[in-house]
Amino acid sequence: MIFKNIVKVKQMVDYQKTIEEIHESILREENKGEIASYIPELAQVNPEKFGIHLLMANGKSYGTGDSKTKFSIQSISKVLSLTLAYKSEGDSIWKRVGVEPSGNPYNSLVQLEDHKGKPRNPLINAGALVICDILVSKFKDPAKEFLDFVHSICSKDNVGYDMSVAKSEKSVGYRNIALCYYLKSFDNIENDPEEVLDFYFTMCSLEMSCENLSRAFMFLVKDSFKTTNNEQLISPKKADRINAIMQTCGFYDESGEFAFMVGLPGKSGVGGGIVALHPEKYCIAVWSPLLNKKGNSYRGMKALQQFTTKTESTIF
């Protein structure tokens, strides 16, 4: 009897059909969670909005639902501010902020005392405030420089700040105000805390669609990525390190769950957005405003779990 090696050929995935099926199946289920109503302006968002956009490394893109509707990306912007600071200041930023998961809520003050004012990572609020302080020191107009930076990576001039959201968030941002002044007491904020906070709230008010987000994060997917000025944004080594931080810290105290169930580096925001990526393959962004108990999009988490399961495309 002759035995032949049987090679299992993986079928080509119909990505448009896949994301449409995921979108439709999740819409049929109960939409659980709560909107981020502690920010008054975000409380006005339609909780039934739901979009998915997938951009492949080869340039092909697929969208469904509210994938072209802009929303407040909130903490997703922290990855972009980190990238700008890392690009500008290099490894010196790690003297002021760590790279370890926090295991605590994103706005916790608890660990700052134990770590003498050095935040565990740049994706929790305390860490993002330190990154904002670095950018305030670096640039005369950090909000403009940050927005110019975003435009250079997503080629979308219609991306901008929603200052009504920024003002709304600042009006109730007592925990972030406390964090910033507490960091100042440890000499880990060099500038006027009010100036740092103004930039922080402005940065978090950045409005983008799922389509915008998937394009903006392609620099973490493709080593060959070029900005709109045809420049390399950051080195592959730095991109790998940012991806590693997103993998371990991108979902606060649900980061382990996301790695286990979805298996991609990613970042969430309380506006209901999530961006996740597979290096050298794709970037996918989802948006649905209702949040689970950990502050991550309920439908978004389900959609990404189903996507990597159906396409068998985790990084592991």
Let me know if residue 2 belongs to a domain: no
Let me know if residue 1 belongs to a domain: no
Is 78 a residue of the active site? yes
Let me know if residue 213 belongs to a domain: yes
The pLDDT value given to residue 6: 39
pLDDT surpasses 60 at 232: yes
Let me know if residue 4 belongs to a domain: no
Write out the H or E segment, with its range, that includes residue 197.
helix 193-204
Domain containing residue 127: 15-311
CATH number at residue 272: 3.40.710.10
Let me know if residue 100 belongs to a domain: yes
Whole-model pTM: value is 0.94
Write out the H or E segment, with its range, that includes residue 207.
strand 206-208
Cα dist from 37 to 111, 180, 196, whole Å = 26, 22, 24
Answer with the residue of higher pLDDT: 162 or 107.
162
Q: Which of the following is catalytic: 72, 75, 77, 205?
A: 75
Is 270 a residue of the active site? yes
Q: Which of the following is catalytic: 62, 200, 282, 298?
A: 200
Q: Which of the following is catalytic: 252, 255, 267, 302?
A: 252
Let me know if residue 98 belongs to a domain: yes
To which residue do tokens 């080869």 refer?
Answer: 58
Structure tokens at 236: 């592959």
Let me know if residue 258 belongs to a domain: yes
Is 88 a residue of the active site? no
Lowest mean pLDDT among 27-41, 92-106, 130-144, 204-218: 92-106
Nearest to 275 by CA among 251, 294, 292, 254: 251
pLDDT surpasses 80 at 4: no
Tens-place pLDDT, residues 67-123: 999 999 999 999 999 999 999 999 999 999 999 998 777 777 888 888 899 999 999
How many folded domains does the chain comprise? 1
Nearest to 189 by CA among 113, 134, 112, 121: 134
Residues 6+ apart with CB under 8 A from 11: none
> For residues 117 and 123, is the Cβ–Cβ distance under 8 A?
no
Q: Which of the following is catalytic: 150, 270, 275, 286?
A: 270
The pLDDT value given to residue 113: 84
Is 79 a residue of the active site? no
Q: Which of the following is catalytic: 78, 170, 184, 267?
A: 78
Tens-place pLDDT, residues 130-159: 999 999 999 999 999 999 999 999 876 689
3-state secondary structure of 95: helix
The pLDDT value given to residue 10: 57
> Mean pLDDT across the stretch 46-67?
98
Let me know if residue 147 belongs to a domain: yes
Rg of the Cα atoms in the chain: 19
What are the residues facing 63 on neighbouring strands? 53
